[in-house]
Chains A and B, each alone.
Chain A
Amino acid sequence: MAEVMLPEKLEISNDTSSLASPELLHVLAVDDSIVDRKFIERLLRVSSCKVTVVDSATRALQYLGLDGENNTVGFEDLKINLIMTDYSMPGMTGYELLKKIKESSAFREIPVVIMSSENILPRIDRCLEEGAEDFLLKPVKLADVKRLRDSLMKAEEKAFNNIIMHKRELEVNDVYSQLKRAKI
């Protein structure tokens, strides 16, 4: 009887704790107001996030390597889980930043949240249409950040579980086809 080769043990562990742990979502926050920068940074730290804060959309693009000065070489290791940006900023607005991010192949998957002190419906619609994950009214509350974090963690866990299930399916199919070949 032909030997059936068992597939190699899956490297992926069943331990989802590295995702589910309240660890280190890395957030890039963009705001031209020094008061708001201090505030959002603390808000995010208290919510167990790693935070990078910049004072303009231009600097945000520089940080991401999207400013045209560098290509994305060297930025592959940059792991950002969320971008939170103020809407009204001098120079480039948060909306324009959102568009640039969604146009980039490297970063378009990253959720972008827009923050604004003004509750203007057409503005909100425009941002959501352009792919914003959420639109928060300032001043942002701790509860808003917690809600964001929770939904991001859920989305990551779901994606992770999908990967596991898919790999298991492949594994099962692999065994099945081997058994067939061995005519068991």
Chain B
Amino acid sequence: MNTVIAQLQRRFQDYIVSLYQQGFLDNQFSELRKLQDASSPDFVSEVVSLFFDDCAKLINNMSRSLERPENVDFKQVDSGVHQLKGSSSSVGAMRVKNVCISFKECCDVQNREGCLRCLQQVDYESKMLKTKLQDLFNVSFKALQNPTCSAARATNTPSWRYNSSGGYKLD
């Protein structure tokens, strides 16, 4: 049983590392994980959910502002980009944040076409990240539920905890 868990832990860890390597996440994500513990066991998934909701809302608003070529509210778009850059930076969503940098540049020179391209990219990157992270958070170990197993808990869906020495363990 413990070897199964160890294997899963390794796979989980490898997956997270690959997300860092591919630039989906940066160091800020690990700062988020530091804040998760027994008293706030779902903190990371909660913040990340808020981020994706916020993302969708901002993308929607900016899309509307960019809709009519003769009447683009670049101030509104700029404000949206600023907010998106801020929140993506806070959760460690590196690719999204990087698109925001180009996005802002397009805004500054009032380049509607450029803005539309960036908007599309930001939408794509945030959806991509959402899929990747959902895989991470939805791991369910019902099959491992076993009262004699030391790693099993009373809750139905044990979740992974990041511990301070850099490893992940099943809680």
Chain A residues proximal to chain B, CB less than 8 Å: 33-36, 38-39, 42-43, 45-46, 88, 90, 117, 138-139, 141-142
Complex contacts, A33 vs chain B, CB 8 Å: 54, 83, 86-87, 90
- Shortest distance from the beta carbon of A164 to any chain B beta carbon, whole Å: 36
Q: How far is the CA of A45 from the CA of B43 in the complex (A)?
A: 12
* Cβ contacts under 8 Å, B87 to chain A: 33-36
Q: List 7 A-B contacts (CB under 8 A).
A: A36-B86, A38-B47, A42-B35, A42-B47, A88-B82, A139-B28, A139-B89
Contacts of B32 in A (CB 8 A): 39
Q: Closest Cβ of chain A: how far from B100's Cβ, in Å? A: 10
Interface of A is mostly: helix
Interface residue SS majority, chain B:
helix
CB of B155 closer than 8 Å to a CB of A: no
Q: A33-B83, A34-B54, A88-B82 are in contact. Are A39 and B90 (CB under 8 A)?
A: yes
Other A-B pairs, 14, CB within 8 Å; known A36-B87, A43-B35, A138-B86: A33-B86, A34-B50, A34-B54, A34-B87, A35-B47, A35-B86, A35-B90, A36-B86, A45-B40, A46-B35, A46-B37, A138-B90, A139-B28, A142-B31
Report the minimum CB–CB distance from A137 to chain B (whole Å): 10
Q: Assuming the A-B contacts A35-B90, A138-B90, are A117 and B85 also in contact, with contact meaning beta carbons closer than 8 angstroms in the complex? A: yes
Total count of chain B residues near the partner, CB < 8 A? 22
In the bound complex, how far is the Cα of B46 from the Cα of A88, in angstroms?
A: 24
Measured between alpha carbons, how far is A117 from B89 in the docked complex, in Å?
A: 9
Q: Using a CB–CB distance below 8 Å, which chain B residues touch chain A?
A: 28, 31-32, 34-35, 37, 40, 43, 46-47, 50-51, 54, 79, 82-83, 85-87, 89-91
Measured between beta carbons, the chain B residues less than 8 angstroms from A45 are 40
- For the complex formed, measure the closest distance between the CB of B25 and the CB atoms of chain A, giving whole angstroms: 13
Chain A residue with minimal CB distance to B44?
A42
Question: B46: shortest Cβ distance to chain A, in Å?
Answer: 7
- Of B54, B79, B82, the residue contacting A35 (CB under 8 A) is B54
Asked if B35 and A35 sit within 8 Å, CB to CB, the answer is no
Which residues on A sit within 8 Å (CB–CB) of B46?
Answer: 38
CB <8 Å contact, A139 and B31: yes
Give chain B nearest CB distance to A129 CB in angstroms: 24
Residues of B within 8 A of A35 (CB): 47, 50-51, 54, 86-87, 90-91
Contact B90 A139 (CB under 8 A): yes
Please, how many angstroms separate the alpha-carbon atoms of A141 and B28 in the complex? 8
Complex CA gap A42/B45 in Å reads 13
C-alpha gap A36/B40 in the complex (Å): 17
Chain B's closest residue to A35 (CB) is: B87
Name the distance in Å between B49's Cβ and chain A's nearest Cβ: 10
Task: Determine whether the beta carbon of B40 is less than 8 Å from that of A42.
Answer: yes
Chain B residues whose CB sits within 8 angstroms of the CB of A38 once the complex forms: 46-47, 50
Contacts of B37 in A (CB 8 A): 46
Chain A residues positioned under 8 Å from B85 (CB to CB) = 117
Cα A46 to Cα B37 in complex, Å, equals 9
Name the contact of A39 in the complex, choosing from B47, B79, B83 (C-beta under 8 A): B47
